[in-house]
């Protein structure tokens, strides 16, 4: 897997995941919406940790700076 996510992209995904987790923790979101958003938060965290987004491949997106 080649990295296809830049630092800004990873930071934004991490912040969104943390925001969703906080909304869930403080019971702002609940029910099925909470489960769906938490699944997205986990996916965002995983993709930001490995710097690779599988959805970017077919779309031809690469936010990683080339060396």
For the chain, the structural domain boundaries read 7-59
- CA-to-CA distance for 23 and 37, rounded, in angstroms? 10
Whether 10 has a pLDDT exceeding 80, the answer reads yes
* Per-residue model confidence (pLDDT) at position 67: 61
- CA-to-CA distance for 12 and 25, rounded, in angstroms? 20
Query: Are the C-beta atoms of residues 54 and 1 closer than 8 Å to each other?
Result: no
- For residue range 27-44, what is the model confidence (pLDDT) as tens digits? 999 999 999 999 999 999
Query: Are the C-beta atoms of residues 64 and 4 closer than 8 Å to each other?
Result: yes
Q: Give me the chain's average pLDDT, please.
A: 94
Higher pLDDT, 63 or 67: 63
């Amino acid at each position: 897997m080649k990295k296809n996510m830049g630092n800004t992209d990873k930071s934004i995904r991490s912040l969104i995941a943390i925001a969703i987790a906080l909304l869930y923790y403080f019971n702002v979101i609940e029910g099925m919406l909470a489960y769906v958003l938490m699944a997205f938060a986990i996916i965002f965290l995983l993709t930001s940790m490995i710097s690779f987004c599988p959805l970017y491949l077919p779309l031809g997106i690469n936010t990683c700076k080339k060396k």
